[in-house]
Amino acid sequence: MKISVIGVGYLGAVHAASMAELGHDVIGLDIDAPRVQRLTAGEAPFHEPGFAALLRRGLDSGRLRFTTDHDELADADAHFLGLGTPQRADGFGADLSALHAAVDALATVLSRRGGTPTIVVGKSTVPAGTARDLAVRLEQVPGVRLLWNPEFLREGYAVRDTLSPDRLVYGVRHPESSGADGQAGDGQRAGAEGDASGSSELEVGMLDAIYAPLLEAGVTRLVMGFEAAELVKVSANAFLATKISFINAIAELCEATGADVTDVAGALGMDDRIGGKFLRAGVGFGGGCLPKDIRALIAGAEDLGLGQSVGFLREVDAINQRRRVRVVEMAREMLGPLRGRRITVLGAAFKPDSDDVRDSPALEIASRLMAAGAQVTVTDPEALENARHHVEGLVTVADTAEALRGAELVMLLTEWRRYRDLHPAEAAALVAAPRIIDGRTVLDPRAWREAGWDLRALGRPGDP
Ligand code: UGA
């Protein structure tokens, strides 16, 4: 099938390359010409395990290409919208301007197709109600139908999550008449004559045809209304954020009582109604999604007069912010006044296996330490360039040993494998004083203390 992906940022680029991998003929469009050039040259514009190889395979096969020219989209039968919906400048709510601009440009191209069945598939994270608005605009064009197919990929696992997702969610205008059985589809309905007015069967069949290899491999697809599909996405992220803040709130109690939050989380997670994932206490969640999505969900609920329904999410956000402040206090408890003290921060990305520094706890904490007058050195395997753009005057060192040399305090804030695997005795030989704060509860306190380190961790008891 001929497919376009509009907006080849993180989500769109991974989706485009993954769809080429499934055998489709894919064109990725972006208004960012340098990005299009880089992708065309087979260069990954971000760090994501497995993506560069997938991109090159797609380009070499001739099934994947990139453009800035909307006219090149005209012969595609399906168009995925992968545009970003960043937080608005006022701090709340999603900025949908890129999405609207893309839909307007696309509608012009589609109006020249003479009614040929075409689907537009939204993948961006949007407030409930967005798809219905866009459908009004798009479905004025004969033959065009919209679906909302949210994306649940995680950075660091983006390729795996796209090619073997936990589930596929299709939001459609008429879920009750979609011809869907709620189970994996047969992928055979593409191009079927659909009822253009009151049924969603045609668009569901076309999307099934695109995802046929996934459906055949047993991935469940769920068909529902537009608003439900939009809400699945934001509520999934809100739930994950809540889980993290929940354990971080318990970490605050652990700090006050001398309990170890990793003991509590380990035992909690064994209840399979709770599950062990996303219960790792520490400096909390960051990135381009979780923080922005909870704030957008709050804003959307308030617009509906339902602020109270999601009022707890304000607390989820507040707990998350508090952890960043707390870890700086911990540094003060260990060092006294921070002015002039040499602190090494391990990690800049918002999480390991990513070079993304958006709303990164590590960088915000580094900035707070700098503001308090500390001499901060930040190291990270992949994110230093982005980090320097993000924080003015940031001192960065790529090599871990060099970064550790002379430190009076080390703070592990992003749990890259190489930091988790640091050898306590070898690290002790490099620093000026063996003090460490484990901001991600990943180090073995006993091993580090035995090697002479003064180790503190969020939510874990101090030196016995
Ligand atoms: C998140 C969701 O997990 C994806 O399902 C979703 O598709 C994506 O947002 C999105 O909306 O695009 P991502 O932002 O890549 O994915 O990162 P996560 O793996 O969810 O981690 C988010 C943050 O939570 C990181 O800063 C991480 O360090 C932190 N975290 C995670 C914890 O502090 N504790 C945990 O136990 C787990």
Using a 10 angstrom Cβ sphere, with 0-12 exposed, 13-18 middle and 19 or more buried, the burial of residue 245 is buried
Predicted pLDDT of residue 197: 60
Residue 241 Cα: closest atom of ligand 1: 24
Average pLDDT over residues 9-18: 96
Query: Given the CA of residue 415, which atom of ligand 1 is nearest to it?
Result: 28
Contact 187, 211 (CB under 8 A): yes
Token output for 45:
């514009």
ipTM field: 0.98
> pLDDT at residue 309 above 50?
yes
**Considering only CA atoms, which residue is closest to atom 13 of ligand 1?**
154
98's tokens: 């890129």
Q: Which amino acid is at 303?
A: D
Q: What is the pLDDT of residues 169-178, one digit of tens each?
A: 999 998 887 7
Q: Distances from the Cα of 411 to the Cαs of 20, 197, 332, 415, 457, in angstroms?
A: 42, 59, 12, 11, 10
Q: What is the pLDDT of residue 282?
A: 98
Report pLDDT for 184. Answer: 44
Q: Please tell me the predicted confidence (pLDDT) of residue 198.
A: 72
pLDDT digits (tens, 9 = 90+) for 402-441: 999 999 999 999 999 999 999 999 999 999 999 999 999 9
Residue 155 CA to ligand 1 center (angstroms) comes to: 8
Phi, psi of 213 (to 5 degrees): -60, -35
Q: Is the CB of 240 under 6 A from ligand 1?
A: yes
Residue 110 Cα distances to 99, 123, 137, 143, angstroms: 16, 19, 12, 9
Residue minimizing CA distance to atom 5 of ligand 1: 152
Q: If you measure from the C-alpha of residue 285 to the centroid of ligand 1, how many angstroms do you get, rounded to a whole number? A: 7
Q: At what angle do helices 97-110 and 130-138 cross, to 10 degrees?
A: 20
DSSP 278-295: T---SS---SSSHHHHHH
290 Cα–ligand 1 center, Å: 6
Mean pLDDT over each residue of the chain, to the nearest integer: 94
Q: How many CB atoms lie within 10 A of CB 7?
A: 25
* Tokens representing residue 179 in the block: 């011809």
The finding on whether 350 has its CB within 6 A of some atom of ligand 1 is yes
Tell the residue nearest (CA) to atom 11 of ligand 1. 289
CATH of domain 2-219: 3.40.50.720
CATH number for the domain running over 236-457: 3.40.50.720
Instruction: Please tell me the distance from the alpha carbon of residue 356 to that of residue 354, in angstroms, as a whole number.
Output: 5
Nearest CA to ligand 1 atom 6: 152
| Spatial separation of the C-alpha atoms in residues 384 and 345, rounded to whole Å | 12
> How much is the pTM?
0.93
Could you tell me the pLDDT band of residue 464, with boundaries at 50, 70 and 90?
low
Annotation marks residue 254 as catalytic: no
CB 351 within 8 A of CB 152: no
CB 41 within 8 A of CB 65: no
Task: Tell me the pLDDT tens digit for each residue of 120-147.
Answer: 999 999 999 999 999 999 999 999 999 9
Please choose, from the candidates 364, 365, 362, the residue with its C-alpha nearest in 3D space to the C-alpha of residue 381: 362
The stretch 52-68 carries a mean pLDDT of 98
Amino acid at 216: E
- CB of 280 within 6 A of ligand 1: the answer is yes
Ligand 1 contact via 356 beta carbon (within 6 Å): no
Tell me which of 10, 126, 154 to substitute to probe ligand 1's pocket, judged by most ligand atoms within 8 Å of the beta carbon: 154
In this model, does residue 199 exceed pLDDT 90?
A: no
Long-range contact list for 108-111, CB < 8 A, 24+ apart? 108/70, 109/70, 109/71, 109/73, 109/74, 110/79, 110/138, 110/141, 110/143, 110/144, 111/141
The fraction of the chain above a pLDDT of 90, given in percent, is: 90
The yes-or-no answer to whether 2-219 and 236-457 have a common fold is yes
Q: Which atom of ligand 1 is nearest to the CA of 244?
A: 34
From the list 5, 110, 214, 289, the catalytic residue is: 289
- Give the Cα separation of 158 and 385 in Å (integer): 21
Return the pLDDT at 181. 58
What are the structural domain ranges in the chain? 2-219, 236-457
